[in-house]
Every structure is written in structure tokens, then in C-alpha cells.
Structure 1
């Protein structure tokens, strides 16, 4: 994709969804951090089902710490890797209380020092909670970036750096959401839904398909 195609790509996504939001349910920065931590290798739908039961009971570091690891496990056992996630979230709550007065830090270094919080989780919190122009590259964004030609890369970091360089600044804060939603519902892993894709004309894959179909049409 060239710069003009990239700009049109995001302009179309913006017109369709001017204020994109994460599909994780949360009511505070801490709830967002907890939900994102729990979402690794799990669906947003699955995490929301668990947190709808957890957050009314424990939605602060102190309350989750008071549950204990086993108490926390009881609320999130429907989520994959729940034992490891319970330990990580419980320890994260202890660190937040001891080192950050119970608040979620807004620096990447401090976030990534929390158990279970890697670069992707930190990027989500920085972007969604604090409005930072970061891009958390998950499987959807990695796929969309490569198949469209937006920011091809062999690994997550290469794609992230490519996106930060190629996405126009005015679209960067919301790009994370647009790309995830596009990958989740249109540019899907099993089969990209190119026939109903609004940005197919901007996309390398979409244009290649259109050219192939044009060559097979009878003269």
C-alpha cells in the first residue's frame, strides 16, 4: 500500500466507525488493565463473561488481593490459563498497592514490570486508558497488516514499528481499534471477506483479487 492508499484506508474505516472502542468491558483504568491481562489467548467475549461476575465483587487492587489467588481463580476459571493469570493478576495488585499507591502507572516501563503484562498489554492500556498513539499488535492486527500490505513484517515488533511509521498521525490513536475490528469481522483468518470489504480497493490483497477476476472474465 502506498501512502495515498493508506490514508484512504483509514479514512474509510473512520467514516464507518468514527469513535471505535475496545470490546472489553471496563469502568476504570484498573478494570481495563485486569481485563487485558486476562485476555491473553482468550476472547473478549469470554473475558467479559468472567469479569461481569468478578468486577462487582472485586474491582480494585486491594479487593482482588483480599480474594487471594484461589478466590480469584474461582471467578476466572472459564478463561484459558486461568491459574497463571490469577497468580499474575494477584501479584500485579500487590505491586500496584506497594509501589504505585494502588494506581495503574502510565509509563511503559512500569507497566511492563507488572507480572503478566507484556508489550501488547502495555500498549493497550497506554492507548485506551491514556490516549497514547500506540498499536498493540495481536493476531488480528498482524494478519491485517501483512495481507493488506499496510505494514508487512515477519514478527510482531516489525509490524508494530511499520504501523507507527506508516499510519498518518491523525489516525494513529484509533488505528488499534479499527484494525482489530477489521480483522475480527471482515479480514478474517479462515477467509478474508473481500466481497463485503469497504477498503478492498486500498488493499494489496483486494486489488490482486480484483485483477485476477478481471483476467478471467470473458472478452
Structure 2
């Protein structure tokens, strides 16, 4: 029994990760995107913003980057692997000029390792490049939220691994929002977030706009 218990405890993180690979839980959200695309076809050669709730909640993203065409395909709660899984449906049809990706936050929260976050981003790049070889991609670093302060060491490690990976790839950028969002004490700051301490307020998005705008304007036109 002791041996069995030890094995179950050792495998517990794996079971958590396996539970999160149910990509079809997001199918309703993807179908809503497809329905919207049929009713009002999005622009080709736009900048595609994709990923989890930080993208989904960014309702003003098109107005915030007026110099370029923008498509928002964020779906809250998703992991990096979900964007890869649905890329044939919410990336490929748009033939985007550039992609801004924010995800990985939920991966770590759901028990994935920093190395798995890096590998999941690499898989996204490979998937997208399989049908759009020349598209440029920016990974927005995982933010230091108040609600997930306990994950700060893993967030730092995941961000560094992604940054290192991006530096070895052509037309793949790492955009650091993590460092500017920390306080002088190196800790997450409440001023960027709404009451839940996880999702950003307008001040947080204003910071992101300033950090992303040079890359978006350069690669989106």
C-alpha cells in the first residue's frame, strides 16, 4: 500500500496535466469565432492576438493599435496547447501578418512545468509555421499576477526558457511585460489588476500597449 500510495503521489501532477489536455472543452468558443467569421469576415494580413483571458478580455485591442489591422482570438482559461490544437481553425484561415500570443499562465497553474511551457510554445511556432512559414510571432511573457504570487519562481523560469528559445528562432520575439509589472521589491503589484488579482485593469493594459506597440507597428504593417 505504501508503494502504491507513493506511486500515486508521484503521478498526481501528470494526472493534472492530462486532465487539462481536453482541448474540446473550448470547442464552443472556437465555433463562435467561426460563426463570427462567416457573418463578418475578418481582414487578411492582420495582427492576430491569441491566447488566454488576458487576450480575451482585451476588448479594446483594435482601437489600441490603430495603425494596424487586428483580430482578437483569445479564449479565457486556455493553455498554450489549446491555441496550437485549434490553430487550423483560428490561425490558418486568417493568414496573419504577425501573431501576438499570451498564454502559459494557466499551464503553470494547472501543474505544467516551466520546461513544458517552453516546449508548448515551440510546438505552437512549429504548427503555425507549417502553414505560414514566414509569419512573425511574439510571445508576451507570463505576467506576475497577485492571485498567482506562489507561482512566481516558476513564472520566472518559464519566461527565461521561452526567451532563450525565442533568441534561437528567426522572426520569433519575446516581449517582457513581467519585469515592468514588478515593484521595486520584485513582487507583483496590485495596481495593474482588477479585484480578482488575476485579470488586468485598464492601467495594466496601458502598460502592455506601450511595451507591445513598437513590435506590433513594425511587424503589422
Same fold (TM over 0.5): no
What TM-score does the superposition give when structure 2 sets the normalisation length? 0.28
The TM-score, its normalising length taken from structure 1, stands at: 0.28
1 or 2, which has the higher strand percentage? 2
Structure with greater helix percent: 1
- Pick the structure with greater CA Rg: 1
